[in-house]
């Protein structure tokens, strides 16, 4: 199984294709910490061969730079069906995060794990918003 692509965005739907807005940001700016971000989505498209297809255990972890979970891990199942023709099929995920509180400015990351194997890691920074220009 491999990841075709993964990103963070403002909004997404995963159906027969992925529809997304505000694709691929990696920084959240905030006036102060802790910082609460109202909403963002994690989007992943995975490709499985006919041998790998089927239902798999899936986990997503949002962690800080010290390796601590920011929110409880999202744990569930993903099903990538056997391809109707050919040797591969895709599975798509769009997970919504609401009102996530980042305790301090710094580096964070989102880790997607399938059957105990990390498939993708996406870095995310929370930085203090620049103040008004002096002068």
- All structural domains of the chain: 2-128 (2.60.40.2550)
Question: In the prediction, which pLDDT does 133 show?
Answer: 54
Residue 45 has pLDDT above 90, yes or no: yes
* Reported confidence tier of residue 129, pLDDT bands at 50, 70, 90: very high
| 62-76 residue pLDDT tens | 999 999 999 999 999
Question: In the prediction, which pLDDT does 63 show?
Answer: 98
Model confidence, pTM:
0.90
Q: How far apart are CA 17 and CA 46, in angstroms?
A: 12
* Reported confidence tier of residue 112, pLDDT bands at 50, 70, 90: very high
- Look up tokens 């919504």; give the residue: 96
Query: Within 13 A of 87's CA, how many CA atoms are on the CB side?
Result: 1
Strand partners, 77: 57
């Amino acid at each position: 199984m491999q990841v075709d692509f993964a990103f963070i965005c403002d909004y997404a739907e995963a159906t027969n294709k992925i529809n997304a807005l505000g694709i691929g940001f990696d920084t959240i700016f905030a006036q102060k910490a802790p910082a609460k971000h109202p909403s963002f989505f994690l989007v992943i498209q995975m490709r499985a061969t006919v041998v790998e297809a089927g239902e798999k255990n899936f986990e997503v972890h949002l962690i800080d730079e010290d390796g601590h979970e920011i929110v409880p891990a999202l744990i569930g199942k993903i099903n990538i069906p056997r391809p109707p023709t050919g040797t591969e099929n895709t599975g798509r995920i769009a997970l919504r995060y609401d009102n996530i509180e980042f305790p301090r400015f710094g580096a964070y990351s989102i880790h997607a794990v399938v059957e105990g194997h990390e498939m993708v890691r996406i870095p995310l920074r929370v930085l203090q918003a620049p103040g008004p220009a002096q002068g």
